[in-house]
């Protein structure tokens, strides 16, 4: 067990927190592109403890800015998209995607006070159905060159889920190869893809006519090898089967919070936590 102080140091992601400052130096997933579909592409985002609003302006460009107007704190998620920005519903202050305040309708004519107002704003990149944000200092690093970002849209699908835990707990589960033998062992061997996912439906090994769920139930004690790499950790889980066969699953933990698991020649799972 670790102390509460160390646990907080590793898991608290707010601005100024040690873990939060590390995570802010990497591209982080902020939203799915589908959340901005429809006639009003505006979506609330809470990322690394910060309340933000994501919107697409009249030019189709994305902006990620502080969620609350700098005037009276009104929620900009209820703002109006107009004049190539997002206008506060309370007093009409207009912000562009870089956070600049372009207009303050209630100020005297000729006032230039708006030029001194700038909301928090973060660079964003849209890749294969996901909007990523960089929230750290200076210029953003190069965007990760993962397979899922080089593949055509027809070969990639993006999804997200809410886990009631901190980011490190989610990461630990993602790289833990032993839990699947118990958490997923009672799934039906012919579990339909739409009900759970192909990762537990593929055959266990070449030449072995065994569903993955059966493999997990019958071989609950994988041999686990951990290797430190330039990108993080490489975890190899070996399940030694009857007949001299071995099922191999490799989990690549990419620092700080990404996981890449090649499930087969046709499918790879990439996660961010």
Residue the block writes with tokens 């889980």: 237
Domain borders along the chain are: 27-143, 167-272
Over residues 131-155, the pLDDT tens digits come to 999 999 999 999 999 989 998 888 8
3-class DSSP state of 51: strand
Q: Distance between CA 226 and CA 233 in Å, rounded? A: 7
- Is the pLDDT at 62 greater than 80? The verdict is yes
Please give the average per-residue pLDDT across 182-190, as a whole number.
68
DSSP state of 99: S
Q: Distance between CA 150 and CA 102 in Å, rounded? A: 37
Question: pTM for this structure?
Answer: 0.89
Question: Which backbone phi and psi does 127 adopt, to 5 degrees?
Answer: -135, 120
Q: Distance between CA 53 and CA 87 in Å, rounded? A: 12
- DSSP H/E element including 6: helix 4-11
Confidence of residue 180 (pLDDT cuts 50, 70, 90): confident
| CATH, range 27-143 | 2.102.10.10
């Amino acid at each position: 067990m670790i102390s509460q102080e160390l646990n907080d140091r590793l898991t608290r992601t707010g601005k100024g927190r040690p873990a939060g400052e590390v995570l802010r130096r990497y591209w982080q997933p902020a939203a799915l592109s589908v959340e901005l579909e429809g006639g009003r592409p505006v979506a609330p985002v809470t990322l690394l403890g910060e309340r933000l609003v994501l919107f697409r302006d009249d030019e189709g460009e994305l902006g990620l800015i502080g969620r609350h107007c700098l005037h009276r704190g009104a929620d900009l998620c209820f703002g109006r998209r107009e004049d190539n920005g997002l206008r506060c519903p309370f007093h009409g202050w207009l912000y562009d995607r870089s956070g600049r305040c372009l207009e303050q309708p209630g100020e005297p004519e000729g006032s230039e006070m708006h030029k001194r107002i700038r909301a928090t704003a973060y660079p964003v990149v849209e890749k294969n159905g996901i909007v990523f944000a960089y929230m750290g200092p200076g210029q953003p690093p190069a965007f990760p060159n993962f397979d899922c970002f080089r593949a055509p849209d027809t070969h990639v699908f993006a999804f997200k889920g809410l886990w009631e835990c901190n980011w490190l707990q989610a990461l630990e589960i993602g790289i833990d190869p032993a839990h699947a033998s118990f958490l997923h062992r009672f799934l039906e061997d012919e579990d339909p893809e739409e009900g759970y996912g192909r990762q537990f439906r593929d055959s266990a090994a070449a030449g072995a006519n065994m569903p993955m769920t059966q493999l997990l139930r019958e071989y609950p004690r994988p041999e686990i090898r951990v290797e430190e790499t330039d990108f993080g950790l490489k975890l190899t889980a070996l399940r030694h089967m009857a007949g001299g066969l071995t099922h191999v699953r490799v989990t690549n933990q990419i620092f700080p919070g990404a996981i890449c698991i090649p499930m087969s020649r046709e499918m790879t799972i990439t996660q961010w936590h």
